[in-house]
Amino acid sequence: MSVARPVHSLLGRCIASTRSRAGSPTATSVVQCQQFHSSAPRSKRRSRFRNVKAEEMGLLNPSVLSKYRQEKFPDYTKEELELLKQKYTPEQLEALRAGEEAINTDDVIIQGRLRDDPYRPNYIEDFTVLDPRYDVKPKVDVTPKQPEWLSHNEWVDQYGSKMSQMTDTKTSHQLTRAMVRALRRVKESSGTELIDLTEDELKDLENDPELLKKYLIEEDGKQEPDANASGPDLLTRAQAMKLDEAVDAEWKKELDKLSSMTDESEVEPSNLELLADGPAGVNRAYSAEAAELGKVPGVEGLYKSAADPEDEGQDDGGHYQEIKRLTGMTLKDIQSIYRKVLVTRWVSNQTRLGKVRSTSVVAIAGNGNGRLGLGIAKSTEAGLAAETAQLLAIRNMKPIRRYENRTIFGNVKAKVSGTVVELFSRPPGFGLRVPHRLFEMCRAAGIHDIHGRMPRSKNPMNSVKATYEALTSQADPEEIAIGRGKKMVDVRKVYYGGAVY
């Protein structure tokens, strides 16, 4: 484009404007105005979204606004307040009231109307439940104590007492459910007025036998009624004898059914209950995720069903079913474990068809509280190798000895091939002053104060293996003291003056 072209266009525009102002009827533009660029002019863009006005939504009509406020944001009823008092403490209830008073319902209605279509997301969040994928575990202040290394006899005694306690609890719960079923049949037959428990209360007792304590505990200072007393809330002697006979008859039937049962799984503890760490919480009843749309009519049962309904649709492919079977943990427990890929190598295998390239991965897994695992896997696909290595690391997790739940016992050293790893315990607040791969391993195991170095070769795979061997092969101070004929003494006050934390 010539430089004179835009200047000429501007001059022509000015000449045309001056000549048109002169009022001459025959005045025309001598020079046609042209654009600076040669591209075609673009039309004005239109928004993809429809402009919804407040009048169309009915937000300016007071009657519609008040009706919507009463429908969507009603006040708490007495029953709802009683349920809230059972779930929250008085301080939490006061905080809830203050939060609701601070929010104006008119602002909520005007700024964002609630969706009423069937595909609306469910944004109701229960802040009393922690999701390990999104929420951070709360920091708990604990008193440092030495780990207990039980002998074989002590461990057997503790395990036996735990199993007997679980069996007794399950047996009592089974008897309670049998009594509830007997009371329900008596009430349905002839005890509608004699038994004051409602059907909902009987159903709650059968689902949770621990609620029986609420009905058995007597209030302080309450006197038992006289045997000869009478009143609208008391039973006569004839009614009481009739009720006892009916309950005894149904109770004997239930005991006969229980004695003829051959399934011992209802009395014996399950595998999950026997785990030391056990499941890590209740199921997520409310979350920020959208609710499922459900089964489509006409195609239900034609596709593969979920591997485990308890996973709530998080593992329909069944990737974690084998690791759940081997470890006994739930899917939520497995997702809460810290996992990290530390080493990735690419190796090739020369065949008659050419070079077959594979990926070798070394991964670690830890719960951040004294357990650490190491996994090594190889595959032609990098993603499959990383996933397999992480699952193997979860399966191979072992306990790591920690002094005061923050550092190791003394100094340890391990050697793998030409790589030597030396780890040293340090006082509180020292931090993790180790190489980056050792840093990830210490953080996964829950070690916070340690110093480490590698004076010789720094091969990535050998350094990870040597660190894992050093952490798992720490000497037991009690065994050393017993071998030397000494006694274990707490020397923290001597070195740190009692200020451990």
185-189, 429-433, 467-471: least confidently modelled range: 185-189
Q: What is the pLDDT of residue 144?
A: 53
Domain count, the chain: 4
In a domain, 145, yes or no: no
CATH of the domain at 419: 3.30.230.10
In a domain, 243, yes or no: yes
> Is 465 found in the same domain as 372?
no
Beta-carbon contacts of 257 under 8 Å, excluding residues fewer than 6 positions away, are: 178
At residue 203, the 3 state secondary structure works out as helix
Q: Which amino acid is at 369?
A: N
Q: What is the pLDDT of residue 49?
A: 58
Of the segments 101-115, 141-155, 453-467, which one has the largest average pLDDT value? 453-467
Paired tokens of 173: 């719960």
Q: What is the pLDDT of residue 285?
A: 36
> Is 447 found in the same domain as 344?
no
Paired tokens of 282: 């209740």
**Number of helices and strands in the chain (H, E):** 18, 8
Q: What is the pLDDT of residue 280?
A: 37
Using pLDDT thresholds of 50, 70 and 90, give the confidence band for residue 48: low
Q: Is the pLDDT of residue 488 over 90?
A: no
The count of C-alpha atoms lying within 13 angstroms of the C-alpha of 450, restricted to the half-sphere facing its C-beta, is 32
In a domain, 290, yes or no: no
Q: Which of 93, 121, 136 is the last residue of a domain?
A: 136
Q: What is the pLDDT of residue 359?
A: 95
Taking residues 288-304, what's their average pLDDT?
A: 60
Q: What is the pLDDT of residue 123?
A: 52
Q: Is the pLDDT of residue 31 over 70?
A: no
Taking residues 128-136, what's their average pLDDT?
A: 70
Paired tokens of 447: 């070690």
> Is 245 found in the same domain as 342?
no
Region of 420 on the Ramachandran plot (φ > 0 left; ψ -120 to 50 alpha; else beta): beta
> Is 379 found in the same domain as 347?
yes
| Domain that residue 172 falls in | 160-214+236-271
Q: What is the pLDDT of residue 106?
A: 78
The count of C-alpha atoms lying within 13 angstroms of the C-alpha of 48, restricted to the half-sphere facing its C-beta, is 0
Note if the pTM is more than 0.75. no
> Is 113 found in the same domain as 68?
yes
Q: Is the pLDDT of residue 29 over 90?
A: no
* Higher per-residue pLDDT: 202 or 369: 369
Q: Is the pLDDT of residue 377 over 50?
A: yes
Mean pLDDT for the chain overall: 75
> Is 433 found in the same domain as 381?
no
Taking residues 76-91, what's their average pLDDT?
A: 88
Taking residues 41-46, what's their average pLDDT?
A: 67
CATH of the domain at 394: 3.30.160.20
* Higher per-residue pLDDT: 33 or 173: 173
Q: What is the pLDDT of residue 287?
A: 40
Q: What is the pLDDT of residue 116?
A: 56
Helical (H) or strand (E) element with 104: none
Each residue of 403-460: pLDDT tens digit? 888 999 889 999 999 999 999 999 999 999 999 999 999 999 999 999 999 999 999 9
